[in-house]
Chain A
Amino acid sequence: MNKTTRVLLNKLPTGVPDLDMVLGGGLPEYSFNIIAGTPGTGKTTLAHQIMFANATKERPALYFTVLGEPTMKMLRYQQQFSFFNSEKIESCVKFINLSDAVLEADLGAVLDRIKEEVVKASPSIVMVDSFRTLIRKVQSQPASEMELQGFVQRLALYLTSWQATTFLIGEYSETEIRDNPVFTVADGLLWLYQSTEGNSVVRKLQVTKLRGQEPIPGLHTFRITSDGIQVFPRTYGLIGTDRSRSSERRLSIGVPELDKMLYGGIPTGDSVLVAGPSGSGKSALATQFIADGLRNGESGVIAIFEERPGTYIDRADSFGLGLSDMIKKGRLKVLYLRPLDLSVDEALREVLDAVKILGAQRVVIDSVNGFELALAPAFRQDFRESLYRMVVALTGTGVTVLTTVETISSFTDLHISSHAISFLTDDILLQRYVEIDGQLRRIILVVKMRGGNHNKDIREYEITSTGLVLGARLQDYAELITGLPHRQ
């Protein structure tokens, strides 16, 4: 045996999209774990997902049920998930009811029963649901704490010796961590949370402990759908991205005169903010930006949060941009993200997946205000951080991102963004209304270009049947950006 060779921890897949990433690569084989959380957080669903992902005929999974949810009901509800495979029941996944043993016998007899089944099946995965109920039953009897600790220790030792990866599922509270012996013995602790904020429900997961591995710390949102649990790691898209900004190549924004103001267009990989009041043409400019890329053989993604995709695309098509055809050809994806309990991680995941699938070079987020509204209240509290993560993750892939933000229309004040998000962007274009000669007219200016110089003109523009068309510089007026200019 080579003395210098360290033992390698084999990692089992969880079967839960992106949970393996959170765990640092998967579940350590032969580990003894706890899945904890209050009722309804998804503990049993997570356990089933892990079980069906790993159970084979040669190395089946044993699911011990103890005085908790009746197995009949559990099978009834769990088979609604797509991961549930009836064909695997009995051959690969065996359910064993321990209720009789728990009610009639002591801890020793329960352990013997578990051992008997483990010896018979030689399982790769063992689940005990609910272990909390088992311990409660034991605690109601005059058993000493040492006896309980001994039981947990022997159970862990035995199941590990039989090369099983074990999960004890239970409704624990965080205050129990210090005093409950099971938390000391456990190698891994997955905590599931569910909270209601406003009318939204937010689910989060935390890997509090995982011996031998480096899980991603912190709370990660997850969603339960008909496919089971899907985790959205909070660092998704941020790890491993290297934003090497190249300002050599510039992309046309789709409006030739505006390209001139940008001294050739937007530097590739930049994050551009288009700010303006309602009706100023932010979305029109955004679609022109995407359409220009499509005309040049690129692909694009538009994430919208306010308008419905049909309306959005119809308006773009009315400018002659032909976005519908591009959607049909698979060159453009329009994501409509508006569930009102969205997490940033979930939105980011959708956009990044679309970018990856299409090989997109341009992304539009229309708008920041709609994005904020789509988030669950809990995520709005740290909205700036959320936007930061989204912009960094997206630009980290090399795409050029155009984000729109609605400004509060005031004729005497100038707010580029109510979210103070301008620091997140490389370039800022500002649109606004001005009153000139008894008419409401529109002006546009380039406020900032991180990559270099830009034209400082304030130009009037109109929204025509072909989109934004820039007019002349308004050089006869002063204080245009106040909205109430006067002739010089």
Chain B
Amino acid sequence: MYATATENIVRRLVSFEIGSDQDGLIDASLRVADMLGSHISKMIGREGFRSLLLRAVKLTAGDYPTIVKIEILAGGSISPASVTASLKGSDVIALLCNLIDLFGTFIGSDLTLHMISVVWPHLTLDAPDGEETELP
């Protein structure tokens, strides 16, 4: 299970993306995954990112079984065709939380947060204590 702090970060990222394009929760969440993927793949390779995403799917599937329906393409992105109506926003949020926690496990939370802040330079990741970001 991912950390509460991670969930709050993911909520802020998704909320930021919703705010920019007025997309739905799932579209914004998938865009967060894509933006993370395209940036981190450059560093660790597409195959490296794909492996982490597959692992995150596995970790998420216990509490959010619907997530197994998504297909991870060879390039490390989520196949839009596999995103069906049965997939909920909370499934993708949980996937992102597990993905970010995996980064933290391998490279530490400092470096993970630093890399997220490079992808979203205008987003403040530090929320005041106890404050949760509301999502639609």
Using CB atoms and an 8 Å cutoff, list the residues of chain A in contact with chain B.
65, 70-73, 75-76, 79, 86-87, 89-91, 94-97, 99-100
Contacts and interface: CB of A to CB of B under 8 A. Distances in A.
Interface residues of B, number: 17
B48 interface: yes
A100 B46 contact: yes
A86 B43 contact: no
B111 interface: yes
A94 B39 CA distance: 11
Interface string B95-131: 0000000000011101100110010000000000000
Given A87-B114, A90-B115, A99 B45 contact: yes
Contacts of B41: 97
Contacts of A86: 108, 110-111, 114
B48 A72 contact: yes
Nearest to A78: B107
B106 to A, nearest CB: 5
B43 A71 contact: yes
B41 to A, nearest CB: 7
Nearest to B42: A96
B112 to A, nearest CB: 9
Contact of A72 (B42, B107, B110, B118): B107
B42 A97 contact: yes
B44 interface: yes
Contacts of B52: 72
Contacts of B114: 86-87, 89-90
A72 B44 contact: yes
A79 B43 contact: no
A75 B114 CA distance: 13
A321 B46 CA distance: 68
A75 B111 contact: yes
A72 B106 contact: yes
A99 B76 CA distance: 14
Contact of B118 (A79, A90, A99): A90
A10 B21 CA distance: 50
Contact of B45 (A87, A89, A97): A97
21 contacts: A65-B45, A70-B44, A70-B48, A71-B44, A72-B48, A72-B52, A72-B106, A75-B111, A79-B107, A86-B110, A86-B111, A87-B114, A89-B111, A89-B114, A90-B114, A90-B115, A96-B42, A97-B43, A97-B45, A97-B48, A99-B47
